Structures are given as C-alpha cells and as structure tokens.
Structure 1
C-alpha cells in the first residue's frame, strides 16, 4: 500500500495524540478494500462512511492500540478503560444534561476513546460533545453572568460587527407539528412508557430503547412536543441522546429548543444550544431565537439580548427572524426606546424590516398607551416600503376598544380602506365586537354587530354570544334575553356557550331559580348542558348559601349525564366551607381524590385554616396527613397552618411534634413556621426555649423576616429579657439587616414602661439620624413626660439637637412648661434657645413664652 504525505500525517497524529484514533480507525478500515493515493478530503468523507458501514473491521487495530497504550505509561492520562463502564452503569431516565457532559469533562483529561465500543455507529466526539469549543462556551456563560445595566447599548452594537456580505449556509430542515406524527402508534406507545417512568422496570426501559431506534426524526420531535411537562421532554431528550446506536437528528435539537422557548427554562435552552456546538450541528438564527424568547419569558431581558453576542462568537449572521425576535423581546420588556434604536442598527447592517417588525413596535406603543404614535407609525409605513396589513390596524383597534374610543375605531376602519386599500371584512367586525364585549362595552359591540349585518356580513352565534355575555356580566338580563330571542328569529340557534353565559348572569343577580329553569329549557331546545353549565349553576347555589343543594345536585351528575371536574368539586367544597360545614367539605375532598382530581395546596390550606379557627387542630392535622398520603400537593404552608392551630390552643407539645415530623418527610420548615412557634413560646414565658429555637433557625440558614423581628422583640421585651434580646439581634442582623430593629426595641420598651433600658439603647438609634429615629425619640420623650420625668425627656431632646435632629416644637413647648413648673427654668430656656438658633421660632416668641 502506498501512502502520501496526508496519509502519514493522520497516522502520526494518531500515535502522538491517542484521541485521534477515530480518524485512524476510519482510515484503516477504508484502506482494507482500497489502494492508491488519497487526499485528506477523500479520506475524511470516504473513511467515515466505510467505518460506519463496517465497524467490526477495526477490531484488530483496536487491540493493537490497547496493547500499545499499556506499554506507554506516559499516555495513561489520555486513557481510562473504566470510563465507558461507568457511563453504561448509570443508564436511567433521570439523566440530566450535567451527566451528559460528564464524559466531556473527564474526557479532556482522561480519555478520548473511552466510548468507542459504546457507540460504534457514530462519531464519539460528535455524539458526546468532545469539542474544542468547550472553553469558548464556558467563557460565554461566565460572561453572561456578569450582567450590567439594562440601559447600555453594548448588545445592540453587536450587530455592527457582523459581516453584511456573509453567505448564509443551507437551511436546516425544520419539522412542524404534524397531526399524523402525533397520532402515530409508535409515538403514542413511547409517550405511554414515559408516563410510567415512576414505575419503570428494566423490561420497560429495554422496550423503550428498542422503540427509540425505530423512530424517525419527525416522530422524536412529536414525542417531545407531546409532553405536558417540558422538563420531562428535556429528560427524555438527554436520555435518548446517550442510548447505544442512536443519534439525534439536527431537527430534534431545534424541536427541543422550540419546546423550551415556551417555558422559563432559559438555562436549559442555553445548554441545548451549547450541546449543538459540541456535536458540531449547524446553529441557525432560529435556534438563537428560541433561546432569546425563553430568556424573555423568564424576565431576563439582559441575557436575552446577550444571545446576539453568542451569535457573533458562533459566526452566525443575523437575519430578519432574530432581529424581529429581539424587537419583540424588547417590546415585551417595556423597552420601546431600545427597540427603536435596535431597528436603526439592524437597518445599518443590511437587515430590512418587514411588516412583522413594525407590528411589534405598534404593539409596544399601544402597551404604553401611546396610541397616537402607533397610528403615526402606521401612516409612515407605506413611505418606508412596507405598507401596513390588517394586523397593524387590529392591534390599535383593540386598544381603542379597551378605552371606549368608538369614534376613532370607526375612523381607523375608514383609513384602512382609504389609505391601505384594506376592506373591513367579517373578521374585522368580529374582532371589534369581541374586544368591546370583553371590556364590558355591550351597547357599542351591539352597534357594530348591527352595522356588520347591514353591510351584508353574517355574524355567527360566537359574535352574538360575546355580546350576550357582556350584557350578563353587567346584570342587564332583559337585554341579554332579547338578544337570545333575536338569535332564534334569525335562525342563529344559540349553543351551550350562549346558554351558559345567561345562566351565569342569572346567578350573578341572585335569580338562581330562573337559572335552573333555563338549564332545563336547554334540553327542550336541543342543546345539552355540559360540565361548565352545571358548574356555573352550582357556583350560583353556593354563592347564595345553598351548598347542600349543590352537593346533592353533583351527586346526581351520573343520572344527568354530565361529569364533574376539579373546578366543580372546588366550587362546592368552598361553598360548604364558607357555611361552616367543614366535615362535609372534607368528605367531598376525599371523594374528589377518589375520582382522580386533586385539590391544590391553597384549597387544602383554606379548609385546614377553617378547622383550626374552630379549635379543631387535631382534625386539621388528620385531614392534612390524609391528603398527604393520598398524593395531594401538601406544602410547608399547610404544616405551618396546623402548627399555628396547635399554638392557638396552647398545645405546644403537638406543635413541636409536627415540627419534627416535617423534617422526617422532607418538608423543611421555613421562617414563618419557626416564627409561629417562637411567638407561642414567648407567650407562655418560655424565653430560653424560644432563644434556642431562634439559634436553630439561623443555623439552618433561614433569614429572619420583619415579622420575625417584631415577634421576638415583643416577646422578649414583654418579659424584660433585654440583654438576651440584644445578643440575639446581633446574630440575626448578621443574617439579614433590619434598619428599624433597635427602633422597635425602644418603642416596645416604652410601651412596657422600661424607660431606663430604652434610654440606654438611644445611642444605637441616633447613629443614622433618620426620620424614623425622630419618631422613636418622640415616643421616648412622651413616655418620660407621662411618667413625670421631664428632665429625662429634656436630655433626649438635647441628644437629638446634638445629632442635628429637630424635635417636635409643640412637644417641646409642653416639655418647657413642665420644666418651668418643676423649677427647671434654665433647662426650659436652653431648650427654646435651641429652636431660636435653628430659626424655628423668633426671639420675640421666646420672650413671650417666658413671660
């Protein structure tokens, strides 16, 4: 066999750098059936295809490399035979992205070929992220964490550094959500197995692995889009990525980013983008768009715009889609001024805005109630080579409808036809009718409905139902009934939505009997009520104090051929709770759980709180434990409510027992929980135990709240434990600063009559000399006067003047009179002289007061 220079280069690089073995193996397997001299390009392309087709041809050479590496200890740092085994042992669905990069992080130091046998059908570096750009991505993330001010334009100037003449590479194939793929049997079966992940066995996982290899890329995308929880989709994405003989198609990465863009999981979207770099998958501008939108949903505007800097480092030129996304993000973040500057810069780099760009800016103007500027922009769009479309006008119309500016809505409709040659059609009228109805402008909506019918447009029952609902919300039931009768006369038969709106209206005005009759009349008119209709009626019964009747009606749901849902149960449960029928409400929750509907933690807490208020803390605890055992969402707030119930009964042993139980079931108490128990201990006079509990709370890393400070200060001052209080405050203030802590101590000591201790702490308050400190000094002065110690009150006033704080003049006049009565004329004169020196009173007034 003859080798040229390029061939020898590959062999030399492999022997010097063992992680280059992939190139060497592909080179070897290809040359087994070929002879001659090859270029490096031919070797790269042809060897790769041959290596994937005949992976076992390299087994002999692999054995050679293993024996060679064992005889060369200098290269032990590049080879770890246990790494692949470790990788295979951790094969579970809870695989995370951090674990996905574990091979990368270790591989840079220990092994470049550890997964050679793990995935013989793919490129090890490509599939496991062995990429030289790792350091670049890490630096990007570090740079991203160093956020500056939102007002800077550094992220906008990034556009100037892009090459205007950069050639765009071939587009990545994109897969839209296909209904056929979502209904495919393989997709449904995999989704079923994913739903059973909590009870997985090796058999189920093996079945999922087998099905995974049969999936087409479009079907993998369908599986990701089918998950109700985006975190589950992300876990499946990473789990599938590490399976043997499987490799994600590039469109799967884009589908995953699209799923994450609908959530606030911005860091996960960023990691998927970095993973694409490691796998050497071309990153198109839409990939960065998805990440930018995810950051925007998370409220992180600064990092959303930093995605442009990532594009620059990746060498991806901006296109219109990423620029429109950036403008959309800025508008959603109420940074319209910055969006306008971004528009100017994108035009400088050769990206021409389209109607979508201007529609985003119009929406931004409307959000800031700058409707005149929005309409002015619409008028300027034709001169910029981009005439407005109907969406441009509809955006402004919706805000005009919200503000009930009907004349301007009509003027804008005329402008559509005159300036833009856009004829107002049925869609236009439907939008106006629905927007006016949504904002309770039923009469105006009905006027546009009449106008649409006069112009020959047919308004369907959806438009009529919107107006009917508007009338019902305002209690105008006669107008609503007239409009429903008009629908019958015009052959527009009302549907269940229309009837439900009227039933809801009758319930709002307290006419539940008429709502029942209307519900029965629906059957006569051939319209079957649904769950929403019955839920509206049951809500009306509960609001009018007939919760028991609502419960009986819900029990007859099977006979009426309707099925209650979680909202139905919640409505009746709250009705029973408001009427004090707590045990019936608890029984309804148990039935709700048996039917597969789980109450929220807020609903559970309301019921627990009602039980505790009636002194049934034990029943509340039993109910909460039962909900917890049945899989309901019981949280720390529910436990705190029950603990508070025990504390109100002075049953501190039960409260401490429940506090210990929280740690056993991994429901860690928060600051509110500890504050509740500390307050109860202080109320019983068990100050030492309260102090120990405070220390325990601080040791667990919990931060005191203002309520915690007030509670502790009140209880300790109540029992005269000032020294212990000051020691605790020093520890608490080291965890969380409270500016008014010592002010509260002085004021509380004054309320309990411990004025000497309050005066000792005055120096700590006067360090800052703020307005709050003035009020505290006034409270101490009044307390001294009330106790008959005007001289002590005078000392407080002098200390205030020394700190450049001016006491209240009327209070000091009262103090001066008390001093004169006790023969302290010099002190009284000095006090008033201080006001004269500061220009608060004139010398004549001072002489008058002395006389």
Structure 2
C-alpha cells in the first residue's frame, strides 16, 4: 500500500480507534508506533522520494479492543476535505523489508498533549530500496543454469486469445529529445540535483512541476538522470502523488532505462505494478526485464521471465525471442541459444537478421569464429541475408586479435558475397576497434587506406588513433598526427586535446599537461569535464591529490562541473597516499552533490581504514553512505566486521551482524567465517558453535576456508569433541573430503597426537594419496615425541588398508624401534615390505 507523503490520515467521527500500528524503517532501525484511542490524526511529510510504511488500523465500536478483519485507513488529503474509501492491508504485510515512513515533528498522546515522534521528518533521506542492490539477495544469484522448460513459452505462439494494445513507439525517442530543453524539464532536473539539501518547500515546488508536465516531459526527466537509481526513485515518488497517474509511455521508457543497468528487481517490480494498474504489457517490456536480470548475472531468472509472460497470456513474438537468444548468448550458452532458435522455427516464428547477428556475436565471444563464418555463409540459404552488422561483428573480433589480413579478406568478402560495399562507416569501425585495443599502427594503416579510397576520416577517427598512440606512450607520433590534422583543415577538437593531455599524464609529464590545458583556452577550445578529470587523475597518480582537489574546488570559475568519476579519482588518490580522512571527506562531498558511491569504492575506503585499525570510522562511513542511498552490499558489512575482529572487538562485530539482520542484508559464508574465526581466536567457542549452527540453519553452505578456520580454532582451543560434532553437521550440508585429514594434521602440529590417532579410522576409509600423507605426518609426529611404537601401529594400520607407507619414513621407524629394543616389531615392519615385493633399506644402501 503506497501512501502519499503529504497527507493526513484521519478517522471518521462515528468510530472509535483502538490502536494504530505503524511499521517502518529508517536505514538500520526498525520502529513501531502505537497510538491511543483519542488520536485525531497522523501527518506525513518529508523527502518526496521516501517510500511509506504500512499502517494497520484496528477499529472497534466498543471500549474493548478487538481486531477488525478488514481494517481500513481513512485518508484526508490536504485541506480539501476529501475522504478516501480506504485501503485494505493485504500482501504488503508479507514483504520482507520495512520501508521508511517519515512522521512530522509532533503527535498527540492519549491526553491530547504534544509529544515527539519517533523519527523527525528533517532526518529523511533517500530510502533504501532493494532493487538498488544489484539483486545480491536473489536466490540463486549468479546461477547460469537454465533448462529447456524455459522454452515452453513458444508453445503458446498462435494460441493466445489475449490481444495486447501496443503503444505507438514511432518517434518516441525524438519526442523525448525535443522535450529535453523544456523549462519544466530543466527545472525539475535542477530540483532533483538538490536532494542533498532537501526541504518541504522544494518538495512542494517539485510536486507543482510534476502536475504541469506532460508524459513525454516526465520521460525526458527520467532519461536526463545520469544515475538510473535516481530516475527510479523519482518514478516511484511521482507515482505516489495525489491527482497524478503515470501515463503508460512512462512505464515503457522506465523499463528501457532499467534494461541498461543491473537493477533487475526495480524492473521486475515495475512490471508487476503495470499489471496492478491494468497497463498493457508488451513482449518487449518483458524483454527489458530479461536483459536487466542478464546484466546482473541471473540468467536463470532472466529466462524465467518467459514463463511469467506465458502465465500473463501474452503471446511471444520475434522481439522477445531475439531477446532470449541475446540473453543466452551473453550467458555463454550458445548451444542453448541454437536449440531455442530451432524451437522458435518449429512453432512458426521466422528468425531475422537480428537473430543471426546475436548468434554470430555469441560465436565470437567464445572464439568460435569458424562457426560464425559458416553461419554467415548459410544465412542466404535460409532466406535471411547478412547485413553490415553481421560482418562488423566479425571484423571487431579480428581487430581484437590484431589479424589485419583477416579483416581485409572479410571486407572483400562482404563486397563480393553480399554486395555490401565498404564505406566510411566500415573504415571508421575498423579504425576505432583497432585503436580501442591498442593497435595504433594498424589503425593508422587503415586510416591511410580509407583516404586513398576517397573516404575522408573525420576528427573523431583521427582522435581515436591519437588516443591509442598516447596510451602506448608514443607521444611524438601523436603530435605528428595532430599536425597532419591541422594541415588538412581538420582542426583538433576537445577530444583530441584530451587524448594528448591524458598521454602526458600517463607519461608523468604533468607540467606539460597543465600547459596544454592553458593552450586549449588560448586557442578557443574549451576543456570539458573529461579533460579536467584526466588532469586530476594524473596529479593523483603522481601523489599530488591535494593539488587535484584545489583544481576541482575551482571548477565553477572555469565553467566545468565534476562528475562521479572526477570525485572518485580524487578520493582514491587520497586513499593511495594514506590520507583516509581526506578521502572520506571527498566521498561525503561526492554524495552531497547527488552522486552515488559504488559498493567497490565504499569497500576500498573502508578496507584502508580497517587496515589502520580505524574500524569505527569505517562503520560510520558505511552508515553515512547507506543513509544517503548508496548501494551498500554484504561485502561492505563483512569488511567492517573483519576490521573489528582485527582489533579483537567482537561485540562490535556481532553488533554489525545484528544490523545486517535488521535491514534484511543476508550475511554470506565469508561474513560467518570471519566472525567464527574471531570468536575462536578469543576462545569463545560456545558462541562460535552457535553462530555456525545459525549459518547452517539459514542455508549458508560452508566453504573450504570455513572448514580450515573452524578446524584451526577448535584444535587450538583443544575442543576436539565439539569440533567433531560440528563437522558432522557441516559435512551433512556440504561435503569436504579432506576435513578429517586437516583435523589430524592440525592436532599433530599442536602436539595432540593421541587425539589425532583416535581419528585415524575416519581418514583410512578412503585410502587415498591424501590419506597417506596424513598418516605420514602422524608417524613423524610420534617419532618427534620419541614414541616409535605408536608410529609402528600407524604403519601397520596403513598396510591393513592396502596403503603402502613411505619406505624412508618406515626406515626411520625401524631404526628407532631397534634403539628402543623393539627388534620384533622392527622385523615385522620390514617383513611387510618384503611381502609386497619391496627391497629392504639395507639392500638399497649396498
């Protein structure tokens, strides 16, 4: 149930309210508010992009409270006097996350007096929505297994009676681009950028702009956002506003935006929202969700979207089939994609050139270029002729391998077999691909060939070659090419100059790079953000991060605006120099400017802090990022936990684990292993056992590192019996063939040979080479203790299991037995070798 963030929920005068329960969360805190019978109203306000929580109203006509099976929330919006019909709380109570509901500053108690609310509206920030977390909590994340059952959607082709009203897509992109310059769009984008300093007045202004905008203008706002997470938050906030409803075209555009990202959960929820709002869903909309899941690494879930589409009664078409083949190809499932192609042809869906181009790309990705060439040759016989994209895909592959002869042959084949004459686009493609992969000389050769054939190369092509030379460190060649550009009447632009400036920085010639920047201003070529970012990166790589920050702080004087990459460059420059406080400040400034730190960037800062023993600061930095809406993941929490464990502050580490549970961040095996190691190190074995059981109960399977950690710490504390019980539980969930071998070897290393001998039977069950090594370690341990008789017993048990001990080791055992007067045992040991055809050690010496 979504509630307007600017509304008042009041109760009708003819009823008595017994209780109102409000559940919400703010970052990592869970709240529940209970209000008395005389409550007159609840006011909601705060950040416009904040999701509301769940209200449960329990009504009663008598003084004694009782639960109303159909609770209704009566809403009054503003001062209009409008009373809604109410909303029944249903499935929202079953969701895993509790979302933020910001309350105003005051409330009423049972006696009518004012009191402070639990959460002040002024502390509202971006809400934490799980679709922003790149699907880390998805079951089976990263699983690339898919079955032919996902192809069943093709069986519904031609059988579905449900007709989808397709929206008119002609000219949508052009219309949105036209609206980019509209004053309403610009003003809305400006307000969204000021979210770090949000206040109710800005919310009112943003709501006013929203109601004046047309659907294509809202689409323009969404498309203008540099971060799709901000666009998604704006989409949800706008959807909650009173007297406003998204046009279907906005849903379609939002799905297209999310298909370029890993925000698969956001795409899936929008698809569900379309169903609830009775908005026609097209096959290409399901395709957008599939692509988002594929980008997030969830191939199995991407293919399951086909089944969702089938249950919705939507008939598949060629576009969704092409998307499915694209997803399979991106997941390195080319053979599965070929089977899907056969299946779609059987049901009557004819593939087009896009279908085959996806397969050609798949073959190239797995280096099966011969199959790709064969597929191009077969396409005309299947009624589908290859286009230039088909050939460009292969050309790109050959360019990456620096196979210029094959590139020329393919260009000739393209003209001869398919009547596709090479043009300027062809040569530009070759030049750019060769330059991109560092083959500057070869790219320059094709540039000369293009000019000889009458295809002039523009400054973009020249800039690509110049950039490639600069990255190779060939600055002299780059300068010659720039002079050639000027001589031919093709003056270099900001991209060309930026490439040279970056080359100076890579070569460590920072002063020349700064001079080039002044030269650009002198000759009327205004540097852009990329130019300055390249210079700042060079300064930071040279250990001059403070100077880089000074230049960034004066950006307004030179009319350029830092982006997320600019801030990241300076932040990590400070981090590499060990100036972690300054790095954190730059990170905070970056968030304040409306940019999101990635989980990797957050982790790099926190890891550096933890290595210096500043785990408390690392935790504060992570919490700040979490409150600002950054996608903090399990790895970040684990880093903080490891930092506290390094300082032996286990209670603080366990507190972080509790915070993870509260905000629905599922700890992984690395998190549990880190804590188990820390608890075992301090001798808190009982807590380590409890945490291990909790890990197994939650379905988290132990890894080889987990086994090594548990064995090391439990043996160190001489808790062998507890270790064996825990190992049995762990092995029943996830096998480890060498678990008991590790226990015996660890006990031998710690001097507990008798305990190790008791476990020898568990090792000799398999009689493998690893078991032989373990037995040898036990034999050597007994010899070090001066107990050759026990070494003799271990060797005999090995013979009984058809394991032949090492002859040199047993020679030592025999010598020790002879020295201790155990002649009979020494002779029996050597007799065992003779019975198996081995020569005695004395004969080998002669």
Q: Matched residue of 1:347: which SS?
A: helix
Deviations along 1:397-455, whole A, 9 cap, x unmatched?
11011111111111111122222222211111111001111111111111100011111
Q: Offset at 1:492?
A: 1.9
Partner of residue 262, structure 1: 260
The aligned counterpart of 2:158 is: 163
CA distance in 2, matches of 1:146, 1:274: 21
Q: Indicate how the Cα distance of structure 1 residues 402 and 152 shifts in structure 2: closer, same or farther if over 3 A, else same.
A: same
Residues 1:456 and 2:454 are matched in the alignment: yes
Q: Out of 675, 685, 708, which is 1:691 matched to?
A: 685
Partner of 2:792: 794
SS of the residue 2:479 aligns to: helix
Question: 1:653-664 alignment to 2 at 5 Å?
Answer: 656=651, 660=655
Is 1:408 paired with 2:406? Answer: yes
Measured against aligned partners, the alpha-carbon deviations of 1:222-252 in whole angstroms (never above 9, x if no partner) come to 4554556656655666666677666555444
Deviations 1:666-722 (CA, angstroms, capped at 9, x unpaired): 799987678767767766xx52xx225425644765867655654554455445454
Q: Out of 752, 755, 758, which is 1:757 matched to?
A: 755
Aligned pairs for 1:71-86 (under 5 A) are: none
> Hey, what's the Cα distance between the residues in 2 that align with 1:403 and 1:346?
34
- Cα distance in 2 for partners of 1:188, 1:531 equals 20
8 Å contact 2:716–2:750 — kept in the other structure? Answer: yes
Residue 556 of structure 1 deviates from its aligned partner by 6.8
Q: Give the Cα separation in 1 of the matches to 2:195 and 2:521.
A: 44
Q: Deviations over 1:372-399 (max 9, x none)?
A: 2222222222233222211111111110
State the partner residue of 1:39.
none
SS in 2 for 1:431: helix
Q: Cα deviation per residue 1:470-520 (whole Å; 9 max; x = unaligned)? A: 222222222222222222222222223223322333333344444444444
**621-630 vs 460-469, which moves further:** 621-630
Give the 3-state SS of the residue equivalent to 1:777 in structure 2.
helix
Cα shift at 1:460: 1.5
- Deviation, 1:350, is 2.6
1:418 alignment partner in structure 2: 416
Q: CA deviation at 1:816?
A: 4.0
2-structure distance, mates of 1:533, 1:725 = 60
In the alignment, which residue of structure 2 is the partner of 1:374?
372
Normalised TM-score (structure 1): 0.70
Instruction: Give yes or no for contact 2:329–2:358 (8 Å, CA) kept in 1.
Output: yes
**CA-to-partner distance for each residue in 1:788-829, whole Å, 9 max, x for gaps?**
322212222233344454433443344345445545454445
**Contact map agreement 1:97 1:271 (CA 8 A) in 2:** no
TM-align CA RMSD:
5.3
Over 3 Å counting, the alpha-carbon distance change for 1:472 and 1:738 in structure 2 is: same
Q: How does 1:103-114 map to 2 (within 5 A)?
A: none
Change (3 A) 1:506 1:357: same
Structure 1 gap ranges (5+): 1-87, 103-108, 131-143
Q: SS of the residue aligned with 1:415?
A: helix
1:251-295, CA deviations, whole angstroms, 9 ceiling, x for partnerless residues? 444344434433445455455545555555544332332333333
2:840 counterpart of 1:842? no
Partner of 2:148: 153
State the alpha-carbon separation in 1 of the partners of residues 51 and 591 from structure 2: 32
1:437 alignment counterpart: 435
Contact 1:265 1:298 in 2 (8 A): yes
Partner of 1:508: 506
* Equivalent in the alignment of 1:780: 778
Q: What per-residue deviation string (whole Å, max 9, x for no partner) do you get for residues 754-792 of structure 1?
A: 212222233344455554433322211121123332221
Mapped contact 1:217–1:251 kept (Cα < 8 A): yes
CA deviations over 1:612-650 (Å, ceiling 9, x no partner): 66xx646x7458647856967685356346535634xxx
Q: Look up the match of 2:394.
A: 396
Residue among 467, 475, 498 paired with 2:473: 475
1:361-760 equivalent positions in 2, closer than 5 A: 361-545=359-543, 567-568=565-566, 570-572=568-570, 574-575=572-573, 577-579=575-577, 617=613, 621=616, 625=620, 635-637=636-638, 639-640=640-641, 642-643=643-644, 646-647=647-648, 656=651, 660=655, 687=683, 690-695=684-689, 697-698=691-692, 701=695, 707=705, 710-711=708-709, 713-718=711-716, 720-723=718-721, 740-760=738-758
Instruction: Provide the secondary structure at the position in 2 that maps to 1:399.
Output: helix
Classify the secondary structure of the residue corresponding to 1:386.
coil
- Which is helix-richer, 1 or 2? 1
More strand, by proportion: 2
1:336 alignment counterpart: 334
* Separation (CA, whole Å) in 2 of partners of 1:623 and 1:305: 39
Query: Which runs of structure 2 are paired with 1:47-446 in the superposition (5 Å)?
Result: 150=145, 152-156=147-151, 158-163=153-158, 171-174=166-169, 176-177=172-173, 178-185=176-183, 216-222=214-220, 225=223, 249-266=247-264, 269-270=267-268, 272-273=270-271, 276-277=274-275, 281-446=279-444
Determine the C-alpha separation between the residues in 1 that align with 2:216 and 2:555.
43
Distance in 2, matches of 1:292 and 1:597, equals 27
Going from structure 1 to structure 2, the CA distance change for 1:97 and 1:799 (only over 3 Å counts) comes to farther
The secondary structure found in structure 2 opposite 1:494 is coil
Shift of 1:611: 6.3
Offset of residue 541 of structure 1 = 4.3
- CA deviation string 1:11-58 (max 9, x = no partner): xxxxxxxxxxxxxxxxxxxxxxxxxxxxxxxxxxxxxxxxxxxxxxxx
Distance 1:551 1:291, change over 3 A: closer
Whole-Å Cα distance in 1 between the matches of residues 259 and 445 of structure 2?
41
2-side partners of 1:218 and 1:595: how far apart?
A: 27
Distance in 1 separating the partners of 2:140 and 2:677: 42
- Aligned residue for 2:166, secondary structure, equals coil
The equivalent residue for 2:133 is none
Whether the 8 Å contact between 1:566 and 1:597 is mirrored in structure 2 is yes
CA 1:188–1:724: 2 relative to 1, 3 Å: same
Q: How many residues align?
A: 732
